[in-house]
């Protein structure tokens, strides 16, 4: 994340200013940035900015968003490869870029969310396993990502036996929800990236979640997979008395030139009108490129279709869950 560079234009845009306003703030010393680690610009060329500058600018200019009660948002689909990791990590990064305090929890032993955020999960000494099985304080498991405001509970292969280890434990469905209580004053959003499986860990994630995001591909296998997911959510309500606030189905990797994709979208609109987001995420090759570099798509190419669409998804979701209660700025 430290390698992320913002042009003056993009930096101003992220802060909700014009480039002229940014330049004025800097020349009037209302804004004093170190441009730490940035190359000295050639004469006549504008300076570059890094993620540390972004955090400093928000504080100095009083551009921090209102704090909200910690909102736990789970990205889950039992089907693999639907974009849970690509979408959840980009969404989380964008929230942090907007000044929110965000914790990403990588629930998948593949450690892909960790990788997408530039953290090598296999080198992490502790994962969620230590927090919910061994009861190590969650705070000790959290690592910074290098992006101010964006922290991570990393994952690696040691997570692969977590379902078995949860089995004999007391309150085995509630371990994650309970562990999160420890950090509830520290974050505005917790974004959980689930593996494509059904087991006790994902049940824990569902029990901990306020909102469920279900990335789907516009094909009929995804459509059938949803039925199983909704049955699970329903049994959760009946047997464990946990009701989710919102379920958002989001069509990912959409290509309107495919007839099958349009048909699948129509079927989703017909059967899940209350849950389907209007905004779709279009097919975009930049996702693969950005994740291979461990840089979220907003920083890799903020003008890509993927970044644009995730921003629109975020706007639609905020419209549905409501703006944060206006607490005093931290
Ligand atoms: N909108 C998109 N357009 C094009 N490719 C995409 C898009 N979203 C995701 N991908 C690609 O699809 C593949 C699967 O994405 P991703 O790993 O995010 O899915 P996942 O649901 O997390 O997978 P898993 O079930 O294995 O955890 C990746 O190669 C990713 O780069
Ligand atoms: Mg994944």
Number of Cβ atoms within 10 Å of the Cβ of 294 = 19
Nearest-atom index, ligand 1, CA of 194 = 27
pLDDT on residue 324: 59
- In this structure, the residue with its CA closest to atom 3 of ligand 1 is 283
Q: Which residues contact 204 (CB under 8 A, 6 or more apart)?
A: 132, 166, 172, 173, 174, 175, 176, 177
Q: How far is CA 94 from the centre of its chain?
A: 8
Nearest ligand 1 atom, CA 80: 25
Q: How far apart are CA 304 and CA 308, in angstroms?
A: 6
Q: Which residue from 32, 66, 28 is spatially nearest to 47, judged by alpha carbons? A: 32
Q: What is the pLDDT of residue 47?
A: 81
Which helix (DSSP H) or strand (DSSP E) does residue 22 occupy?
helix 19-27
Q: Whose CA is nearest to atom 16 of ligand 1?
A: 83
Q: Ligand 2: distance of its center to the CA of 113 in Å?
A: 7
pLDDT above 60 for 326: no
* Structure confidence by residue, pLDDT tens digits, 141-193: 999 999 999 999 999 999 999 999 999 999 999 999 999 999 999 999 999 99
Confidence of residue 330 (pLDDT cuts 50, 70, 90): very low
290 CB less than 6 Å from ligand 1?
no
Looking at residue 327, its pLDDT comes to 45
Domain 71-321 homologous superfamily, CATH: P-loop containing nucleotide triphosphate hydrolases (3.40.50.300)
Question: Is 253's C-beta closer than 6 angstroms to any atom of ligand 1?
Answer: yes
Note the pTM of the prediction, 2 decimals.
0.95
* Helices first, then strands: H and E counts in the chain: 15, 7
Mean pLDDT of the 23-33 span: 91
**Cβ of 222 below 6 Å from ligand 1:** no
Tell whether ligand 1 has an atom less than 6 A from the beta carbon of residue 65. Answer: no
How many other C-beta atoms lie within 10 A of the C-beta of residue 72?
A: 23
Q: Is 155 in the pocket of ligand 1 (CB under 6 A)?
A: no
Ligand 1 neighbour 284 (Cβ under 6 A): yes
Query: Residue 222 class from Cβ within 10 Å (0-12 exposed, 13-18 middle, 19+ buried)?
Result: buried
pLDDT in the model for residue 328: 43
**Could you read off the pLDDT of 253-284 as tens digits, one per residue?**
999 999 999 999 999 999 999 999 999 999 99
């Amino acid at each position: 994340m430290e390698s992320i560079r913002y042009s003056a234009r993009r930096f101003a845009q992220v802060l909700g200013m014009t480039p002229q306003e940014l330049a004025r703030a800097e020349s009037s010393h209302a804004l004093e940035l170190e441009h730490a680690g940035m190359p000295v610009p050639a004469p006549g060329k504008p300076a570059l900015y890094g993620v540390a500058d972004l955090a400093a600018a928000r504080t100095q200019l009083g551009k921090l968003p209102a704090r909200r009660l910690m909102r736990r948002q789970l990205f889950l689909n039992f089907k693999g490869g639907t974009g849970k990791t690509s979408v959840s990590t980009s969404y989380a990064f964008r929230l942090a870029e907007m000044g929110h305090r965000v914790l990403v929890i990588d629930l998948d032993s593949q450690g892909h969310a960790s990788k997408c955020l530039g953290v090598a999960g296999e080198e992490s000494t502790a994962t969620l396993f230590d927090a919910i099985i061994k009861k190590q304080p969650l705070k000790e498991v959290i690592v910074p990502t290098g992006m101010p405001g964006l922290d991570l509970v990393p994952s690696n292969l040691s997570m692969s036996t977590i379902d078995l280890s949860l089995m004999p434990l007391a309150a085995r469905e509630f371990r994650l929800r309970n562990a999160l209580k420890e950090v509830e004053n520290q974050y505005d959003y917790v974004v959980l990236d689930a593996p494509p499986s059904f087991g006790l860990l994902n049940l824990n994630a569902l029990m901990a979640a306020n909102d469920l995001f279900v990335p789907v591909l516009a094909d009929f296998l995804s459509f059938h997979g949803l039925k199983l997911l909704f049955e699970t959510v329903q049994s959760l309500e009946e047997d464990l008395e946990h009701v989710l606030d919102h379920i958002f189905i989001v069509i990912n990797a959409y290509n309107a030139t495919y007839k099958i994709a349009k048909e699948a979208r129509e079927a989703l609109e017909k059967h899940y009108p209350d849950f389907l987001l209007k905004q779709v995420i279009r097919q975009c090759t930049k996702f693969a490129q950005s994740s291979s570099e461990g840089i979220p798509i907003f920083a890799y190419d903020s003008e890509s279709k993927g970044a644009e669409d995730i921003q629109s998804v975020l706007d639609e979701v905020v419209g549905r869950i409501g703006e944060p209660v206006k607490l005093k700025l931290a």
